[in-house]
Amino acid sequence: MSELDAIRWFKDQFGAAVTEALTGTPFTLDMATAIAMQETYGDCWQFLYQTKTAAQVLPLCVGDTLDYPNRTAFPQTKADLCQAPNGQQMFDIAHQALINVGQFNPAYATVAKNPNKFCHGYGIFQYDIQFFRNDPEFFLDFQWYDISQCVARLLKELTAALSRAYGPHMTSLTDDQMMYVAIAYNAGHVNVGAGPKQGYRDASGKYYGENFQSFLHLAHSVPSPAPVAPAQPAAADAPPIVPPAAAPEQAAPAQGPPPTPPPPIAPAPTPAQSTIPAGQLDLVSLIQQASMLLKAAAAQSPQAGISATIPAVTAAQQLLKLVETAMAGAPSGSTPDASKQASATSPNLLTLVPQILALIQGATSQSQPSGTQPTGTPSQAQIKQVVSILQTFLDSPTGQQALGQVNGALGQTIGNILDGKKSAIGILGAMATAVLQNVGPSFATAVPIVGSWAGLGGAAMPIFLAIAAWGALGKFEKWFQSASPNQ
């Protein structure tokens, strides 16, 4: 891409805003274009404008790291800047700006390794940090992200430069007069009539005035576009000046207050805080509603997924942990006192089940349209019955007696391994597969171990239901064996 392409891009993106701001002044769009090319094109936006939006380019238009002894204006050093009001905050912003532009310009990346270095110029026209003490908002509020703010500072500084060069009463300027005003804009002073070899001298030996003349000539050759809407303030994915947060690859305004985070999910109520109304809720409905709640929780926190900080998930995890502990049995060498101490500090089924069911009921009642009767929830007696069944499944002794036809269907060895565990495996597996079927697509992206979590859940569901049914039949077999006289 050539400099002509860059000038065309600048006029397409910012021409309307610049023209509107300079209307009624002796300054023109071509003059502003030439200044933008001279000030920031070579160091900043030549690396960006072909792949990024205008709103993403503006935050990275920073530069000029020369300090003492090559700089005489404020601030000459980091210590000089930090002594000013809000100076430390400004330095932090300025050093981070240098790091950000260094991601695209290797020369700045090298300078950024020095912890005392920082950028002195801000915005596509390079408004100098020497104005920080009188105009701190432009720097502290990141106003260089906004083209209208950049043009406003350009106009202010060009007006002052014009006054230094020719006085304040000029209504129009020739190309040579624009050059001398641009030199005064750059250097703070100018010798009118001394030619273009004035102002900053770059590494190639060319002076600011000479480069400005070249860019102004090119700008004249590119027609101004039809009026377009000005670029919006900074993009959300532009490298942040403050400590970064993960940002999507999408442009968004940088001004205004930060977006309001979604309201947190209310903590789970305890039995002492609420009374669960009477109603009917079977195991299948409980599993379905639990999976719906987990899916809703994941949707409310798309970046973090299903987090342990969500009360419903936390309670569910505690329940699963408790069931797993019960399945594993008490550790060897444990004493009754230790068991009592553990039960006093650990959650129990009777506490966790009401919390989970209450959360599920709250989530489903919020999702129902007004005027719809809420789904009933279990009473305390029903909850105790569910807990009793689970505890019976988990705590029933297996003994050493021979297995019956149901429990020993796959042989005594496999039967003894699964004895007392089939129901728990089936119930927990069914719950897990129900969750996979609902939140599988998001898991497939976050944990790409298998092709489709949802498909895996669908295939596993009948297996776990069969195991649960097998375990239930096995329990009935044991109950009938214990109730019948020994043969």
Q: Residue 328 — pLDDT band, cuts 50, 70, 90?
A: low
- Give me the residue spans of the domains in the chain: 3-221, 283-330+346-365+375-483
pLDDT higher at 254 or 407: 407
**Pick the residue with more confidence: 278 or 221?**
221
User: Greater confidence, 456 or 169?
Assistant: 169
Calculate ∠ Cα 84-97-244, nearest 5°: 110
Residue 325 has pLDDT above 80, yes or no: no
* Count of helix runs (H) and strand runs (E) in the chain: 18, 3
pTM of the predicted structure, to 2 decimals: 0.50
Burial class (CB in 10 A: 0-12, 13-18, 19+), 204: exposed
The CA R_g of the chain, rounded to the nearest whole Å, is: 36
Are 387 and 350 contacting, i.e. CB atoms less than 8 angstroms apart? yes
Task: Choose among 463, 471, 389: nearest CA to 430.
Answer: 463
- In the predicted model, is pLDDT for residue 345 greater than 50? no
Close Cβ partners of 1 (under 8 Å, ≥ 6 residues apart): 50
Closest CA to 63 of 236, 253, 202, 213: 202
> CA-CA distances (angstroms) from residue 178 to 33, 123, 158, 197, 394?
12, 21, 10, 14, 88
Instruction: State both tokens at 258.
Output: 């930060």
Which of 203-212, 245-254, 400-409 holds the top average pLDDT? 203-212
Decide if 462 contacts 429 (C-beta within 8 A). Answer: no
For residue 201, what are the β-bridge partners? Answer: 207
pLDDT (mean) for 418-439: 76
Residue 306 has pLDDT above 50, yes or no: no
- Which pLDDT belongs to residue 342? 40
Amino acid sitting at position 478: K
Nearest to 49 by CA among 22, 96, 15, 12: 12
Q: Summarize the confidence of residues 131-147 as an average pLDDT.
A: 97
Output 24 or 225, whichever has higher pLDDT: 24
- What is the pLDDT, as a whole number, of residue 214? 97
Give the largest Cα separation in the chain, rounded: 123
CA 294 to chain centroid: 21
Evaluate whether 193 touches 183 at the Cβ level (below 8 Å): no
pLDDT at 397: 45
Angstrom distances, CA of residue 212 to CA of 4, 49, 419? 14, 20, 87
Residue 15: pLDDT above 90?
Answer: yes
Across the range 45-50, mean pLDDT stands at: 95
28-37, 280-289, 410-419: the lowest-pLDDT one:
280-289
Contact between 34 and 219 (Cβ < 8 Å): yes
C-alpha span between 36 and 29 (Å, rounded): 10
Beta partners for residue 121, in sequence order: 63, 128
Are 339 and 330 within 8 A, CB to CB?
yes
Q: Rounded to whole angstroms, how far apart are CA atoms 330 and 146?
A: 65
186 versus 168: which is more confidently predicted? 186
End-to-end CA distance of the chain: 95
Phi, psi dihedrals of residue 189, rounded to the nearest 5°: -155, 165
> Is the pLDDT score of 212 beyond 70?
yes
SS3 category, 62: strand
In one-letter notation, the amino acid at residue 471 is G
**Distance of alpha carbon 295 from alpha carbon 454, whole angstroms:** 13
Q: Is 465 exposed, middle or buried (0-12, 13-18, 19+ CB in 10 A)?
A: middle
- Torsional sign, CA 297, 302, 306, 307: negative
